[in-house]
Amino acid sequence: MIRAFAALDIPQAQRMELMIVQQGLPVPRLVPPENLHLTLVFLGEIEESALEEVHLAWQALRMPGFEVSLRGLRGLGVFGGGKPRAVYAGAAECPGLARLQAKLEQAARGAGLTLERRRFVPHVTLARINRPLADPERLERHLAMRADFAAPPFAVDHFALYRSDLGAGGARYEELARYPLGP
Ligand code: 3AM
């Protein structure tokens, strides 16, 4: 079985902006810079043969590229409300991104996978919070001060399939395939 997902990798300039935001976040564990990504579809733990089917379906897709801005209305946010689970940088409204995400889900379902039906909130997770914070309001204040965060927009000309291995030291991601997006 392979734990896999599709995501956009983040170019170096935007990655550095996100690393700057990560500095000083009052949370115990940050996502390491090499793991920063924008998840499109989480496939779960699946058989290698099922992954191969999804890979073929994604390879057959013809989709245009687009630009993504990491900011959005609130720029930075927290999933989980009063019980923070993750800190993220949101992406601005982007029809190309939404269309790509929908197509990938549709193609994965067409290849026989059962996926969770969750609303797509495009984001890059900056920190995961796996135990209650001593002072969640400190995090709220910290993020409020950086509410105007915006990284320069970047062109998306491919997406990628990743394998995820969960270890004691955190997740390790390996790129398995890369899919170009056309002009
Ligand atoms: O980094 P983010 O949060 O965008 O949260 C997991 C991560 O996305 C998400 O898949 C990405 C790679 O691990 N993920 C993990 N388990 C999940 C699940 N059961 C999940 N997404 C949905 N359902």
Model confidence pLDDT, tens digit, residues 94-131: 999 999 999 999 999 999 999 999 999 999 999 999 88
- Answer yes or no: is the C-beta of 79 below 6 A from any ligand 1 atom: no
pLDDT tens by residue, 10-54:
999 999 999 999 998 999 889 999 999 999 999 999 999 999 999
* Ligand 1 atom closest to the CA of 124, numbered from 1: 4
CA of 42 to the centre of ligand 1 (A): 6
Closest C-alpha to ligand 1, atom 1: 125
CA of 39 to the centre of ligand 1 (A): 7
**Distance (Å, rounded) from C-alpha 31 to C-alpha 153?**
21
Closest C-alpha to ligand 1, atom 19: 44
Closest C-alpha to ligand 1, atom 20: 42
Residue 160, pLDDT score: 98
- What is the per-residue burial (b if ≥16 Cβ within 10 Å, else e) of 150-177? ebebbebeebbbbebeeeeeeeebeeeb
* pTM for the model: 0.94
CA of 97 to the centre of ligand 1 (A): 17
Q: Tokens representing 72?
A: 């959005």
Active-site residue, 123 included? yes
- Answer yes or no: is the C-beta of 69 below 6 A from any ligand 1 atom: no
- Give the active site residue among 55, 123, 142, 158: 123
Q: What pairing do the DSSP bridges indicate for beta strands 37-46 and 2-9?
A: antiparallel
**What integer is the mean pLDDT of 75-89?**
85
Active-site residue, 142 included? no
